[in-house]
Amino acid sequence: MYPCGLKPSFWADSEQFNTASAMFSNKIQVTEHLLFSKQKPASNHANQAKCLFAEIHLEFMNRLLSAIAFAAHKHRDQRRKDLVASPYINHLIGLANVLANEAGIEDERILIAAILHDTIEDTETTEQELIRDFGKEVADIVMEVSDDKSLSKAERKQLQIEHAATISRRAKVVKLADKICNLRDIANNPPADWTLERKQGYFDWAKSVVDALRGTHPALEHLFDEAYKLRP
């Protein structure tokens, strides 16, 4: 049995998924009305609000777990560059954890895009796949934070600095969290073959990117600054 008799919903096609955010917002507004309306009986309002909160939670959990499963499959043969070759999915889950549990981000589009943010750049995933399975808003965020792998590494890094200020706020939030996680990983569990100079160079380049993102999210920017203090 599901809470209040509510069955969790899953949007299997893009048209349904693209309406999810609007539905989520409307349910929040209705829930607030039920909780704080002066109409009686208040107990009925509270029960209805609890049912709506339960439905919202189940819907979001379905979508988030779908994104994790999708990313785990797409990155299944990839490992991080650390000494123990950690599964790549660890990085993606860690990034979403920073957003949700350290920065208090509740926007499901940002959290799902965080899980998927490397699929375009590092796997054979297409934009149309993301639109089909997760909706255009999520796909747009992922596209904004993806490098063009046809360019040289130096060009890609320079373009990240130049484009940082022009991307959407949601994309900026994902990029901030990505840089936080990368700095922490390099400081605490660095790639086995990276020299001190390369580690320092990454820290300084990441700071150049984040400096162009300043003013987006103070809490994330503070977390980045704390991570930067770990510079080797």
**Residues assigned a catalytic role:** 121-122
Establish how many alpha carbons lie within 13 A of residue 229's alpha carbon, considering only the half-sphere containing its beta carbon: 5
Residue 59: name the closest of 26, 11, 109 by CA.
11
The neighbour count for residue 46, using CB atoms within 10 Å, is 12
Establish how many alpha carbons lie within 13 A of residue 180's alpha carbon, considering only the half-sphere containing its beta carbon: 26
Say whether 160 sits in a helix, a strand or coil.
helix
Q: How far apart are CA 224 and CA 201, in angstroms?
A: 16
* Whole-number Cα distances in Å, 79 to 5, 13, 90, 97, 207: 42, 31, 9, 19, 25
Torsion sign, CA atoms 181, 182, 184, 189:
positive
Q: How far apart are CA 88 and CA 71, in angstroms?
A: 9
Q: How far apart are CA 222 and CA 96, in angstroms?
A: 17
Q: Is the peptide bond before 87 cis (omega within 30 degrees of 0)?
A: no
